[in-house]
Structure 1
Amino acid sequence: MSDMDLHIVLVEPEIPQNTGNIARTCGALGADLHLVHPLGFSTSDRYLKRAGLDYWHLLKVHHHDSLQAFLNDYGNENLYFVSKKAPLRYDHISYPDRLFLLFGKETAGLPEELLRKHRDTTVRIPMVAEARSLNLSNAVAIMAYEVHRQHDFPGLMEKGGLV
């Protein structure tokens, strides 16, 4: 078991395939997945299940009625917010062993008031100015693996099976 305690928080996700892919990434990393309602799909959605493949048993999924409910429960934790509006690059932060990475919904991102309030822990992934955004599941993968990289990939398989 690793010392890493990573939590991926999706605030009002809208696309089931993204959430399924993110669940698969969380399963591969041993990260918890938090889904902040309302969701833009049913958790029984076949696209959600298909995208997550058979990884659902590898992770804990937590449901929260609203962003405020999540913040009431976890607001004193190490929260990091991911947004293209952030002043800090994601790779310029040293992440703690236990943290929560928050991502906004695909069409709107996270509320700007929340980002301003947490300016020092709001990070961005660089991209060309003309790009509106990265795919949510890609952004989660970039961030989650950066956190693990900084901690030397604790608890993850060290070697492949190629002989």
Structure 2
Amino acid sequence: MRITLFEPDIAGNVGTILRTAACFGVPVDLIEPMGFPWGDRALRRAGMDYTAAGDVTRHVDWAAFTARRAPPSARLVLATTRGAVDLWDARFEPDDVLVFGSEGAGVPDHVHEAADLRVRIPIRPGFRSLNVAISAGIILAEALRQTRESST
């Protein structure tokens, strides 16, 4: 299981996701460009000292990420408000790569089309979306719950 952030805009969200991933032992891929300089104080503040304990790989762009994806056969699971499958109906696999778009723009169509599974978190009508760091935590927790149950 991995988390991938596509061109994230907000350092605080990235720091929070890095902290969450470090706590669960999940590697993180960051696809650039990012909307802030790497090492920004907000990133360190949100991630606290957990970011140093995390497994983070930076990629210069989507093409570089897809060329180095490990394992290459892993499914891309995209979190999206345009998703076709409610989170509660999605079935996760241990090698899934959980992809989250930028806070301002999400992901472009070519990334959306590359996804093997598109997942949405069901929320109340009239609400647009959740914060990306919250979404990442919710989806990661469900994915880990499912894959840990299936491995026992």
TM-score for the superposition, normalised by structure 1: 0.84
Cross-structure match for 1:76 = 73
Structure 1 residue 130: deviation in Å?
Answer: 2.1
Structure 1 residue 105: deviation in Å?
Answer: 0.2
Is 1:122 aligned with 2:118?
Answer: yes
Structure 1 residue 150: deviation in Å?
Answer: 1.0
Between structures 1 and 2, the one with greater helix share: 2
Structure 1 residue 108: deviation in Å?
Answer: 1.1
Cross-structure match for 1:157 = none
Query: Per-residue CA shift, 1:50-94, capped at 9, x if unaligned?
Result: 100111232111000111221222253221111010111122122
Alignment match of 2:58 (pick from 63, 68, 74): 63
Counterpart contact for 1:10–1:103, Cα < 8 Å: yes
Q: Percent identity?
A: 32
Task: In structure 2, list runs of 5 or more residues that go unmatched.
Answer: none
The secondary structure found in structure 2 opposite 1:63 is: strand
TM-score for the superposition, normalised by structure 2: 0.89
Cross-structure match for 1:91 = 88
Where in structure 1 do 4 or more consecutive aligned residues deviate above 4 Å? none
Instruction: Kindly provide the amino acid, as one letter, of the partner of residue 38 in structure 1.
Output: P
1:10-159 superposed matches below 5 A: 10-74=5-69, 76-118=73-115, 120-152=116-148
Structure 1 residue 153: deviation in Å?
Answer: 7.3
**Distance in 2 separating the partners of 1:142 and 1:148:** 10
**Distance in 1 separating the partners of 2:131 and 2:138:** 11
Rate the CA distance shift 1:53–1:133 in 2: closer, same or farther, 3 A.
Answer: same
Counterpart contact for 1:30–1:58, Cα < 8 Å: no
Rate the CA distance shift 1:54–1:117 in 2: closer, same or farther, 3 A.
Answer: closer
Structure 1 residue 117: deviation in Å?
Answer: 4.5
Task: In structure 1, list runs of 5 or more residues that go unmatched.
Answer: 1-5, 155-163
User: More deviation in 121-130 or 145-154?
Assistant: 145-154
Task: Figure out how many residues of one structure are paired with residues of the other and give that number.
Answer: 148
Cross-structure match for 1:3 = none
The secondary structure found in structure 2 opposite 1:81 is: strand
Counterpart contact for 2:76–2:114, Cα < 8 Å: no
**Distance in 2 separating the partners of 1:153 and 1:12:** 32
